[in-house]
Amino acid sequence: MIDDVQMVLQPSTVGESAYQRIRSDIVFGRLLPGKKLKLDRLKADYGASVSTLRETLNRLHSERLVVAEGQKGFEVAPVSIANLRELAALRQLLECRALEQSFRAGDMEWEGRVVAAHHRLARMEERMADGDRAHTEEWKRYDWQFHQALISACGSKMLIDNHAAVFDKYLRYQMIALSYRGEIAAREHALLLECALERDAKRACEVLTRHVAGGVEHALATGTIS
């Protein structure tokens, strides 16, 4: 009976693993925009069957991280300045709404999560400021964890899920540009922490709006996105 259960679950587990790995490689820029996603190569790289990979790529296509080329197959979704600006505007809208709700409902445990997440991020920002670029992905993961902690008490799974989807697409642009704004971004993160502890949602939204807009302009200034 146990073997039967494992046989049923294994394809789902392999498929989920392939999905998570390919998605991560796209979001973190290891698979660049426009790269052809050939099934034979993906099979070798991710250890999944062709049918599983087709299902995975269709799933990523529904998330607009992959585009289909008719009978030619799939490729990583392209990037554009217009798309980056649209994603930034959506992130500002969703995250501000979630901040307002989270600041109203957050308890002591929520405060603890926010403080701990900011501590990890701030330490990594210090390393980045010192010129250490060996842990760029870890830095961005801590960045994501801090922003997620801020909105984690908003009480809406749908809002959190939609924010996460937009944040990941926005993150992809940052990874492509390898954009680090240094002290400015670190100071804005510290201000967001301060706003959270003071439950000042209005000021937090103002800081967040500047934070996201500044990230967009800094990324565009690198000339890596057109």
What does the pLDDT look like over 21-42, one tens digit per residue? 999 999 999 999 999 999 999 9
Q: Report the C-alpha gap between 17 and 23 in whole angstroms.
A: 10
pLDDT (average), residues 68-81: 88
Least Cα distance to 160 among 171, 144, 174 occurs for: 144
Distance CA 65, CA 29 (A): 11
pLDDT at 88: 97
| Residue 61, token pair as written in the block | 């296509």
CB 66 within 8 A of CB 26: yes
Give the CB-side neighbour count of residue 152, counting CA atoms within 13 A: 17
Statement: residue 183 has pLDDT above 80: yes
| Prediction pTM value | 0.87
Answer with the residue of higher pLDDT: 9 or 178. 178
pLDDT, residue 12, reads 54
DSSP state of 65: S
Q: Which residues of 106-117 are buried (b: 16+ CB within 10 A; e: fewer)?
A: beeebbebbeeb
Return the amino acid letter for 131.
G
